[in-house]
Each structure stands twice: as structure tokens, then as C-alpha cells.
């Protein structure tokens, strides 16, 4: 008869997610995960068949479920418009100026480090990007209806550009967390909406 688990899988996922977020996939060893979670290697492999990689993918999914909604904030609301898109970007800049923000976004970091070689990780990243694009498209459609932006604006095309801009912003912010540089990127992105 198997022994019952002596740990909460969600707590382990939270701790593993934070470790992967801090260090990335390659720089995080099983020993690091054991230290972060307090769970023995055999128990990790038993709870997450596939070991480190399986735990990583589950961590990405958890990040997408728990952290991303906080970051999206009002951008995900039905009435979102230009102010909420701008608020999302301003939140990114604020985050990038703080020590924890320098870690960046786990999904963006994964896109850079692992998505080209791991289809499952890439699928989670694509899901995040699609969600962000949907939110921005909806907000820009509202903005066109409310005449907050030029009438000829293509909400879907502009949303794609803004998604690419925010991903680039997070990469630049990790290497050069200079507020003037980050604000200039955001300001110029919004000029295209006027």
C-alpha cells in the first residue's frame, strides 16, 4: 500500500515556480528544488512523473493561473479600454524598476530560454500571449467605439504590436532597468494609437 503524501502539491508547485522564476529552468537543479520545497527527490518524481521538466511545466501553468491575472488587473475586465492598456504597461514599468521585477515574467523568460526546444512549454507561453492579445484587442475595440483612439485603428493588429512591445519591454527592463528608457518605449508605443 503506497504511503500518503506528506506535502501539499500546490505548496510544492508554488515553491518550485518561485525557484524557476528566480533562476530559470537550466540553472535550477533537482537539488535546488529539494531545498526550495523541502521534498525529497523520490517524492518529487513520484508526485510529478517526468521530474524536473514536468514540475517546470506545471509551474508555468500555475504561474499562468495565479500570477498572470494579478498582472493583467483591469485589462481583463469587460469595460477595459485605453486607460487599462496603459495601466498594464505602467505596471510592467513599476515592476521592472523593483528588485523582484528584475526577475521578469516567468513566461517571457521561458519563451527566451526554453520555448524553441520544448513544445509543451511553448504551448503554455503561446496560451499566455494569446490571452494578453485577446485582452488588448477587446480593450482597443472598446476604445474605438468610445472614440478614445483614431477611428481607423485596427484593434487586432494594434494588439499584436502592443503584445510584442510589452514582451520586448520586459527583456529590455531586465538588462537596463532605466525608467526613462522604459517610459520612452511605452510612450512611443501609445503614439501609434492616437
Q: Is the pLDDT of residue 1 over 50?
A: no
Q: How far apart are CA 147 and CA 111, in angstroms?
A: 35
pLDDT tens digit sequence for 65-93: 999 999 999 999 999 999 999 999 999 99
Q: How far apart are CA 150 and CA 171, in angstroms?
A: 29
Alpha-helical regions (H) of the chain:
9-23, 30-37, 41-47, 51-72, 82-97, 106-113, 119-145, 155-175, 179-191
pLDDT tens digit sequence for 31-46: 999 999 999 988 888 8
Take residue 106 and report the three cell numbers written for it.
516567468
Minimal CA–CA distance to 93: which of 170, 12, 160? Answer: 170
Q: How far apart are CA 55 and CA 47, in angstroms?
A: 9
Q: How far apart are CA 121 and CA 107, in angstroms?
A: 9
pLDDT tens digit sequence for 102-117: 888 999 999 999 999 9
Q: Count how many Cα atoms sit within 13 Å of the Cα of residue 118 in the half-sphere of its side chain.
A: 17
pLDDT tens digit sequence for 118-128: 999 999 999 99
Q: Count how many Cα atoms sit within 13 Å of the Cα of residue 60 in the half-sphere of its side chain.
A: 25
User: Whole-model pTM?
Assistant: 0.89
Q: How far apart are CA 96 and CA 178, in angstroms?
A: 9
Amino acid at each position: 500500500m503506497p504511503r500518503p503524501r506528506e506535502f501539499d502539491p500546490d505548496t510544492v508547485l508554488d515553491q518550485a515556480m518561485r525557484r524557476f522564476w528566480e533562476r530559470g529552468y537550466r540553472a535550477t537543479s533537482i537539488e535546488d528544488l529539494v531545498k526550495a520545497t523541502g521534498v525529497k527527490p523520490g517524492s518529487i518524481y513520484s508526485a510529478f512523473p517526468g521530474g524536473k521538466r514536468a514540475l517546470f511545466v506545471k509551474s508555468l501553468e500555475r504561474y499562468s493561473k495565479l500570477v498572470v491575472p494579478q498582472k493583467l488587473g483591469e485589462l481583463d475586465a469587460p469595460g477595459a479600454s485605453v486607460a487599462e492598456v496603459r495601466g498594464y504597461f505602467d505596471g510592467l514599468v513599476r515592476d521592472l524598476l523593483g528588485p523582484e521585477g528584475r526577475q521578469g515574467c516567468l513566461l517571457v523568460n521561458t519563451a527566451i530560454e526554453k520555448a524553441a526546444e520544448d513544445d509543451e512549454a511553448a504551448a503554455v507561453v503561446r496560451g499566455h500571449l494569446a490571452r494578453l492579445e485577446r485582452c488588448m484587442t477587446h480593450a482597443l475595440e472598446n476604445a474605438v467605439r468610445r472614440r478614445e483612439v483614431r477611428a481607423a485603428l485596427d484593434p487586432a493588429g494594434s494588439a499584436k504590436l502592443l503584445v510584442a512591445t510589452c514582451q520586448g519591454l520586459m527583456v529590455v527592463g531586465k538588462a537596463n532597468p532605466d525608467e526613462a528608457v522604459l517610459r520612452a518605449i511605452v510612450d512611443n508605443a501609445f503614439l501609434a494609437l492616437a
